[in-house]
């Protein structure tokens, strides 16, 4: 006969399998059916709490632990305290475990001692008591970084460009991924040619360090391109050997802090410190908030002398869905460490980060994107056939207005549909071309149908022939709520198309106001009447010109060429920050 312990063990294995298969709802349903709350022994309730916690049903698990603790179940105290500690609530864990019955306290003394050590250290470093409910992992991360506030970075190469690694989360199809790939490719070419950048001879290969390149998640969009250019690529997710051992850390205080970090920081340290030490990097440029959180402390432990943190969009305190409480103390601590500074691709983002973090402007540098003029030739006959069919359906149109964006909330696709409907009321001889795909595309098409304008809009979908579609437009419009530096505004101008944009991110830095485009008043709520007025002006401007004006051409050449981007980047990272 199967015992209760054996049944619970089997259930635990099944739940683990379902979790690995990302079938969390199925796991929860199984737990509830096998362990109904009203008929549980203390052991079964304890295991149910464990299983629920393991499948991210944290609040329900905690409620069960508290029920058992009310019944003076000391094993529940220990299990609850252990889980609280591992999630960063060391003070909560300390309070719970201190109340274990005197008779069994010795059993848990080692674990309580571990909790007491980290709490005592953090309160000493903070200079005050830490209240219950505070995430102590974040405080430990902050002080682990501040351990290096008086470090003396080794001297950087003089007269040559040393060993560089560029880091980010993936090589998916986004703008930041395109820029980091382009930068790596250009530096790799100079290395093979034994050339110079900004007067510095490139004597070392460049490396891309990427968290994950899973093809099924489309995280490898630019991988083929960078490998063809002989860029060295390291995928962190595939590092299985030569992992970091904190026994190599001499300071007992730092070792203790490193034992109580946020999981993503631990992951970066465990997988990357040995590699960074082996590479003996001169410079490390880490792009995007999540990668900075994972890699920055690992780089300090490895002794990388020059660390640059690349901020590609508005801070997560503005983009709430990307917010993590770790970011603010992470960046504020890193800002005081010698050899560390921040880089963005526009001034708007640097201002927002500086205001949020209460940091001086000297901590931030700007490297504008390097943008290649898009090819206006289609990659196949398909785009041309699609365009011909659309023009046949809209033969009365003498104007084409378009956009290129992902159909997601941040890009505000419904505002685009509403604009098209409003513009058509006064300019019926207009057609519209929208390039891109996303979760909201079907809903946007339905909205167009409801407004009776579906026949006037060509929904191209995702396309590699962006240049071809841009040159079909008389005016390009971007209604984004949030942006970094939108390359597509630059690409549109490069093929001679004037632009309209919301003031999202660095959009206003992409063109000359009143010459090659107009900025709308608000990024969150689009003023459709204003957008229509600007579109009318630009349609007339486009008709009076043949191609891009000299002023715009000079502006784009001075700010957004690949050569300018690479040169500016090397200049910013090849010297220690002020």
- What DSSP element (H or E) covers 226? helix 223-228
d(CA 231, CA 229): 6
pLDDT above 70 covers a percentage of the chain that reads 98
Strands 196-197 and 200-202: antiparallel
**What DSSP character marks residue 199?**
T
Q: Which domains, ranges and CATH numbers included, belong to the chain?
A: 2-136 (1.25.40.10), 158-367+563-572 (3.40.50.2000), 379-559 (3.40.50.2000)
Amino acid 146: pLDDT: 98
Nearest to 84 by CA among 103, 72, 69: 69
Alpha carbon distance 141, 147 (integer Å): 10
**Which stretches of the chain score pLDDT less than 70?**
1, 102-105, 545-548, 578
pLDDT of residue 110: 86
Using CA atoms, how far residue 29 sits from 24, 52, 62, 64, 436, in Å, is: 9, 10, 18, 17, 38
Note the pLDDT of residue 242.
Answer: 87
pLDDT of residue 37: 79
pLDDT in tens, 543-561: 776 556 889 999 999 999 9
For 497-531, what is the HEC assignment?
A: CCEEECCCCCHHHCCCECCCEEECCCCCCCCHHHH
- C-beta of residue 347 within 8 angstroms of C-beta of residue 366: yes
For residue 102, what pLDDT is reported?
67
Q: What is the pLDDT of residue 100?
A: 80
Answer whether 341's CB lies under 8 Å from 305's CB.
no
Phi/psi for 436 (5° steps) reads 140, 165
Query: Token pair 């909560």 is at which residue?
Result: 92
Assessment of whether the complete model's pTM goes beyond 0.85: yes
Q: Give me the pLDDT at residue 307, please.
A: 98
Beta strand 399-404 with 475-478 is parallel
CA distance 397 to 473: 12
In angstroms, the CA 108 to CA 104 distance is 7
Q: What is the pairing mode between strands 232-235 and 475-478?
A: unpaired
pLDDT at 312: 85
What percent of the chain stands above pLDDT 90? 79
């Amino acid at each position: 006969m199967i015992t209760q312990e054996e049944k619970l063990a089997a259930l635990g294995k099944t739940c683990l399998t379902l979790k690995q298969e990302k079938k969390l709802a199925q796991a929860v349903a199984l737990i509830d059916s096998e362990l109904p709350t009203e008929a549980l022994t203390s052991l079964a309730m304890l295991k149910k709490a464990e299983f629920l916690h393991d499948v991210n049903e944290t609040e329900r698990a905690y409620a069960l632990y508290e029920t058992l603790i009310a019944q003076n179940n000391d094993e529940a105290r220990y299990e609850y305290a252990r889980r609280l500690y591992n999630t960063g609530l060391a003070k909560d864990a300390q309070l719970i475990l201190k109340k274990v019955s005197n008779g069994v306290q010795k059993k848990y003394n080692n674990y309580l001692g571990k909790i007491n050590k980290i709490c005592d250290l953090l309160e000493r470093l903070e200079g005050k008591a830490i209240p219950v409910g505070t995430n102590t992992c974040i405080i430990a991360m902050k002080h682990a970084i501040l351990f290096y506030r008086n470090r003396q970075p080794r001297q950087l190469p003089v007269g040559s460009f040393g060993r560089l690694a560029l880091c980010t989360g993936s090589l998916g199809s986004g703008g930041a991924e395109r820029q980091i790939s382009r930068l790596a490719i250009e530096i790799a070419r100079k290395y093979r040619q034994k050339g110079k950048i900004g007067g510095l001879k490139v004597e070392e290969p460049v490396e891309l360090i990427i968290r994950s390149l899973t093809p099924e998640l489309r995280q490898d969009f630019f991988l083929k391109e960078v490998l063809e250019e002989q860029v060295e690529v390291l995928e962190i997710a595939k590092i299985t050997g030569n992992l970091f051992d904190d026994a190599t850390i001499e300071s007992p205080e730092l070792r203790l802090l490193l034992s109580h970090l946020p999981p993503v920081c631990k992951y970066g340290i465990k997988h990357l410190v040995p590699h960074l030490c082996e590479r003996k990097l001169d410079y490390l440029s880490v792009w995007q908030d999540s990668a900075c959180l994972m890699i920055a402390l690992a780089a300090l432990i490895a002794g990388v002398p020059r660390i640059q943190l690349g901020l590609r969009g508005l801070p997560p305190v503005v983009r709430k869905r990307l917010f993590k409480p770790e970011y603010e103390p992470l960046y504020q601590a890193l800002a005081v460490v010698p050899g560390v500074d921040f880089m963005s691709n526009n001034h708007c983002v640097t201002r927002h980060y500086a205001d949020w973090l209460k940091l001086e402007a000297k901590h931030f540098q700007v490297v504008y994107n390097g943008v290649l003029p898009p090819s206006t030739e289609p990659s196949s006959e398909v785009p041309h056939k699609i365009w011909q069919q659309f023009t046949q359906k809209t033969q009365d149109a003498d104007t084409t207005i378009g956009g290129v964006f992902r159909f997601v909330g941040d890009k505000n696709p419904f505002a685009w549909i509403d604009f098209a409907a409003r513009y058509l009321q006064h300019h019926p001889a207009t057609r519209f071309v929208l390039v891109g795909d996303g979760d909201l595309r079907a809903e946007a098409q339905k909205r167009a149908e409801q407004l009776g304008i579906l026949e006037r809009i060509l929904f191209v979908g995702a396309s590699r022939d962006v240049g071809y579609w841009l040159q079909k437009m008389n005016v390009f419009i971007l209604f984004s709520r949030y942006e970094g530096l939108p390359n597509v505004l630059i690409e549109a101008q490069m093929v001679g198309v004037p632009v309209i944009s919301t003031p999202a991110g660095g959009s206003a830095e992409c063109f000359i106001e009143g010459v090659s485009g107009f900025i709308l008043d608000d990024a969150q709520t689009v003023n459709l009447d204003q957008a229509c007025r600007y579109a009318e002006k630009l349609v007339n401007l486009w008709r009076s010109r043949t191609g891009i004006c000299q002023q715009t051409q000079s502006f784009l050449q001075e700010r957004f060429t690949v050569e300018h981007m690479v040169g500016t980047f090397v200049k910013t990272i090849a010297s220690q920050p002020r």
